[in-house]
Chains A and B, each alone.
Chain A
Amino acid sequence: MVKAIIAGSAGEKKLLLGNEAIARGALEAGISSATAYPGTPSTEIIEAIAEVARDYGIYVEWSTNEKVALEIGIGVSMMGLRALVAMKHVGLNVASDPLMSLGYTGVIGGLVVVSADDPNAHSSQNEQDNRIYGIHANIPVFEPSTVQEAKDLTRELFDLSEEFQMSVILRTTTRLAHSRSQVVFGEVVRPNREAVFHRDPEKWALLPPYNLAKHRDVLVKLDKLSEHLSSFRFNTVEKVDGDVAVVTSGVAYNYVKEALEELDLALSVFKLASVYPLPRKLALEALSYGKVIVVEELEPVLEWQLKVLAYEEGMKAEIHGKDLFPRVGELNKELVKAGLSRALGIRYEAPPAVMPSVELPRRPPVLCPGCGHRSTYYAVKIAAQRLRVKPVYANDIGCYTLGFYPPYQMADFTWSMGSSIGIGLGIARFSKEPVVAFIGDSTFFHAGIPALINAVYNRTPMLVIVMDNGITAMTGHQPHPGSGVGVFGEEKPAIRIEEVARAAGVKFVEVVDAYDIIAMRDAVERAIKYMREAGEPAVIVSRRPCALMVLREKRRRGESIKRYTVMKEKCINCGICVDRFACPAIVREGDGKVTIIPDLCTGCGVCATICPAKAIREVEVDE
């Protein structure tokens, strides 16, 4: 049995992912609860805690959505216990409603909200900078620069949160969350506090007589915190002679260090782990230099604050930031070298590079071989052709978003969790063509249900196809309320999507095997006819467990895997399997004939059913 990655005693050294380091830090802080909804790049935090949760008596769960995850954390804090809540940056939007009031109420038990931001939007719909959420919500924001610091800072933020009775946001970015570096462990604290509800209605009730007083209180607290943070050990200054200071935070600090080494420059570096509020004394010290260069990813959060402070204090420092560094996308050492050189008037040339002399095809991510979403899309397309309709395809957030790409192109829009139904409602009000919304099972539970209820209540005709693969597949197979298992794989009640839809008042609800293209096609035809005649929404649950998950299970159990092969002599080279069905395991060879790559085939057999020449057949393989 492999030992849990974040287990180990003080002094032990391990190569940890940034997210695992945060998990370890929370363990060392003695948390009682850890809740989250999965989302790249935040997912591994809860996965790592789950590995040790039962040993340390920590409550851990995958929540229905980020709002619920945060609300649980707030409740745990009211019990005087420490709670960690984790989510990706856009997840904080979902949790923003309770967050904004949490800034006013503050906390009892330490509450750390991790926001894993995604500069460059590697796997996200935008690159919002959640440091600004802290300013908006009156909640302090901290940002670690290294993996070691991610652990240490997490641990210490729980103390700080309790000392100031404020929740805090720990903001990371993809390059930290998904970097591995060495981490030296500290002492683990077991959560052994007595859980007592801190009954204090005036503190917790956000009602008219108290709200403004709370707003005033938190502003005073933030001022106090700002003073305190000037001696916070994670805010550091590396001083050298000269009149130029670099102010930086987060992962950008590493780019600054490398850039200075390579440019052979010595500048004073102010590394701020607390980005809101600014540590006032330290910030004034930085502003006492003649030239201040702010190096930060995305929005000019430090730069704005420094400029305001300089104006207020009548300081004359020349402040640079986004005039030198991009506001879009990630930073790296080369961008920082170029920006610093410009600020200092040094000539700079990018290092020479070997450029490819052939044009390389893009490689967008694709639906896996054997994925039930592919056959669902295929069948829906055929149904639309047979009905001679051109549906508006509303799509949502998950693996199935990949239906955007050719050859399917079945995502006329994709927005945020649950928006396929919500935005689809607005379109359906006015569209002559039917609206077909695709939504995954986890997304349905996360944010789809209220919009579906709206469709029923307001009698909006719309077809909702819930693509149910039983798991939150996109982020690496975390369970959800429909999975029938919990965070440890233990048995849980499975909430059936079709029963939820019926209970919400949807009268047309059908469940279809996602691999059964004919059944799916017919169900879609019936559903579209129904919604046109009845003027009401219809729901089809297209069900097949995630192919990746099934394959891993089979490998683990040592079961044989069925695979398919093309009988070349029968193949009429029509291209349906490779160009229209587009399974990545099926490719065209040099002679133009198609072939199935055996290592990629998962044996779903759908290609055999759609082949008009019946040229694809099964072969048995032992693993």
Chain B
Amino acid sequence: MSRRSVVIAGVGGQGLITIGSVLGEALMAKNYNVSVGEIHGLSQRGGSVAVFLKYGEGAVSPVVTQGEADLIVGLELIETVRRLPLLKRDGSVVVNDFLLPPPASKSIPTRGELLSNLSRVKSYVVDARELALKAGSEIAVNMVMLGAALATKILDLDIPDIENLLSKRFKGDVLRVNMEALRLGYQSIKE
């Protein structure tokens, strides 16, 4: 393996940057060259956001280009389909079953249309909100999706790699909720 690329797609405010930096730190701990590229600023206001993560040996640039991504982690359906051209033909998608129509837009594709687009590639659909609530807070949606991403086994990471990091970042209840969300996300793909 020379390089692996991941695209994390969603809407500003969903915690995408956290997923990117947690994955990045975990991969760095495994001595890979890591690059996590983020675009934010305006996008914090509910705009479309994509985080690009690349790792491997040799040069890793901060942009994932057409047909390059091994994995797309999508936190919202429209944004996930928007990034499909970045996916390798044999790449995988894990997607949160959540449709957030952009305000005041006229033509919104249906959930069915979006899902059928995703069914053209290897994809896993996760009800992340339900699992996050089960873990204790709707804010943990991103941890559920992170767990699901790990379960695809596309990245050279497993649950303990992330747990190590989370226990350095968080304490008490927040840590417990995040850990549980991570595990529930992981199991949702495993089954």
* Chain A residues in 8 Å Cβ range of B84: 353-356
CB nearest neighbor in A for B105: A361
Verify A356–B81 contact, CB threshold 8 A. yes
Chain A residues 341 to 369 lying within 8 A of chain B, measured CB to CB, are 350-368
Verify B117–A175 contact, CB threshold 8 A. no
* Chain B residues in 8 Å Cβ range of A583: 103
CB nearest neighbor in B for A254: B61
Cβ of A334 within 8 Å of any chain B Cβ, yes or no, is yes
Given the interface pairs A181-B33, A360-B109, the reply to whether A367 lies near B45 with Cβ below 8 Å is yes
Verify A180–B41 contact, CB threshold 8 A. no
| Proximity string of chain A (253-265) to chain B, C-beta cutoff 8 Å, 1 when within and 0 when not | 0110110010000
In the assembled complex, how far is the CB of residue B162 from the closest CB belonging to chain A, in whole angstroms? 14
* Chain B residues in 8 Å Cβ range of A582: 103-104
How many residues on the B side are at the interface (Cβ–Cβ under 8 A)? 61
Bound CA–CA A367/B86 (angstroms): 29
Verify B67–A351 contact, CB threshold 8 A. yes
Verify B109–A365 contact, CB threshold 8 A. no
In the assembled complex, how far is the CB of residue A315 from the closest CB belonging to chain B, in whole angstroms? 29
Given the interface pairs A2-B169, A360-B81, A368-B45, the reply to whether A261 lies near B59 with Cβ below 8 Å is yes
Bound CA–CA A258/B68 (angstroms): 12
Verify B45–A402 contact, CB threshold 8 A. yes
CB nearest neighbor in B for A406: B104
Verify B109–A353 contact, CB threshold 8 A. no
* Chain B residues in 8 Å Cβ range of A178: 37-40, 62
Bound CA–CA A362/B108 (angstroms): 10
In the assembled complex, how far is the CB of residue B37 from the closest CB belonging to chain A, in whole angstroms? 5
In the assembled complex, how far is the CB of residue A542 from the closest CB belonging to chain B, in whole angstroms? 18
Chain B residues 58 to 78 lying within 8 A of chain A, measured CB to CB, are 58-63, 65-68, 78
Given the interface pairs A123-B42, A332-B65, A351-B68, the reply to whether A254 lies near B59 with Cβ below 8 Å is yes
* Chain B residues in 8 Å Cβ range of A357: 117
Given the interface pairs A15-B34, A254-B62, the reply to whether A358 lies near B68 with Cβ below 8 Å is no
Verify B67–A181 contact, CB threshold 8 A. no
Chain B residues 95 to 112 lying within 8 A of chain A, measured CB to CB, are 101-109
Verify B34–A182 contact, CB threshold 8 A. yes
Cβ of A612 within 8 Å of any chain B Cβ, yes or no, is no
CB nearest neighbor in A for B88: A351
Verify A40–B41 contact, CB threshold 8 A. yes
| Proximity string of chain A (129-160) to chain B, C-beta cutoff 8 Å, 1 when within and 0 when not | 00000000000000000010000000000000
Verify B2–A261 contact, CB threshold 8 A. yes
CB nearest neighbor in B for A40: B41
Verify B102–A332 contact, CB threshold 8 A. no
Cβ of A587 within 8 Å of any chain B Cβ, yes or no, is yes
Verify B11–A363 contact, CB threshold 8 A. yes
How many residues on the A side are at the interface (Cβ–Cβ under 8 A)? 59
Contact partner, A175, options B24, B58, B63, B106, Cβ 8 Å: B63
Bound CA–CA A366/B11 (angstroms): 11
* Chain A residues in 8 Å Cβ range of B42: 40, 122-123, 365, 474
Bound CA–CA A351/B21 (angstroms): 28
In the assembled complex, how far is the CB of residue A590 from the closest CB belonging to chain B, in whole angstroms? 9
| Proximity string of chain B (3-14) to chain A, C-beta cutoff 8 Å, 1 when within and 0 when not | 100000001100
Verify B85–A251 contact, CB threshold 8 A. no
Contact partner, B66, options A334, A363, A367, A405, Cβ 8 Å: A334
Chain A residues 301 to 358 lying within 8 A of chain B, measured CB to CB, are 330, 332-334, 350-358
Verify A366–B46 contact, CB threshold 8 A. yes
Verify B67–A350 contact, CB threshold 8 A. yes
Verify A360–B45 contact, CB threshold 8 A. no
Cβ of A471 within 8 Å of any chain B Cβ, yes or no, is no
* Chain A residues in 8 Å Cβ range of B86: 353
Bound CA–CA A352/B103 (angstroms): 32
Cβ of B142 within 8 Å of any chain A Cβ, yes or no, is no
Bound CA–CA A174/B39 (angstroms): 8
Chain B residues 18 to 72 lying within 8 A of chain A, measured CB to CB, are 20-21, 24-25, 28, 33-48, 58-63, 65-68
In the assembled complex, how far is the CB of residue A551 from the closest CB belonging to chain B, in whole angstroms? 11
* Chain B residues in 8 Å Cβ range of A41: 41
Bound CA–CA A114/B75 (angstroms): 34
Verify A579–B104 contact, CB threshold 8 A. yes
Verify A181–B35 contact, CB threshold 8 A. yes
Contact partner, B59, options A15, A257, A402, A475, Cβ 8 Å: A257
Verify A352–B24 contact, CB threshold 8 A. no
Verify A175–B120 contact, CB threshold 8 A. no
* Chain B residues in 8 Å Cβ range of A242: none
CB nearest neighbor in B for A353: B85
Bound CA–CA A95/B106 (angstroms): 43
CB nearest neighbor in B for A368: B45
Bound CA–CA A406/B102 (angstroms): 12
In the assembled complex, how far is the CB of residue A238 from the closest CB belonging to chain B, in whole angstroms? 11
* Chain A residues in 8 Å Cβ range of B24: 15, 180
Bound CA–CA A335/B35 (angstroms): 19
Verify B28–A362 contact, CB threshold 8 A. no
Chain A contacts to B: CB under 8 angstroms: 2, 13, 15, 40-41, 122-123, 147, 174-176, 178-182, 251, 254-255, 257-258, 261, 330, 332-334, 350-368, 399, 402, 405-407, 474-476, 579, 582-584, 587, 599
Chain B contacts to A: CB under 8 angstroms: 2-3, 11-12, 20-21, 24-25, 28, 33-48, 58-63, 65-68, 78-79, 81-82, 84-89, 101-109, 113-114, 117, 120-121, 138, 169
Cross-chain pairs A/B with CB under 8 angstroms, 11 sampled: A40-B42, A180-B21, A182-B28, A255-B63, A258-B3, A351-B88, A354-B84, A365-B44, A366-B46, A406-B104, A584-B103
Task: List 10 other contacts, CB 8 Å, given A356-B117, A366-B102, A584-B103.
Answer: A123-B41, A123-B42, A147-B35, A178-B37, A178-B40, A351-B88, A361-B107, A362-B105, A363-B11, A405-B104
